[in-house]
Amino acid sequence: MPYERRIAAQNQARKWFLILMGSGLIIGIIVAFGVVQVLTKLGLDNKPNYQIQIEVNQDKPSPSP
């Protein structure tokens, strides 16, 4: 009797584990697709249109401590 209960509990645990893993995978795919759609719609996936210029002043001496 205890052996059959153990086997039944393992099978039920395995079933629930697969159900939870599958539903988590499906929810993750849907959320990732939604995030990509929102980023694309807001234009956050493009490179910025402006150039960042870094100015280097070589005539000024560096401050001494």
Selection from 19-23, 46-50, 54-58 with the highest mean pLDDT: 19-23
Query: 20: how many CB neighbours lie within 10 A of its CB?
Result: 10
Q: How far is residue 3's CA from residue 30's CA, in Å, rounded to a whole number? A: 41
Would you state the pLDDT for residue 45? 86
pTM for this predicted structure: 0.62
Mean predicted confidence (pLDDT) in 11-34: 98
Would you state the pLDDT for residue 57? 66
pLDDT for residue 53 is more than 90 = no
Mean predicted confidence (pLDDT) in 49-56: 71
Q: How far is residue 4's CA from residue 25's CA, in Å, rounded to a whole number? A: 31
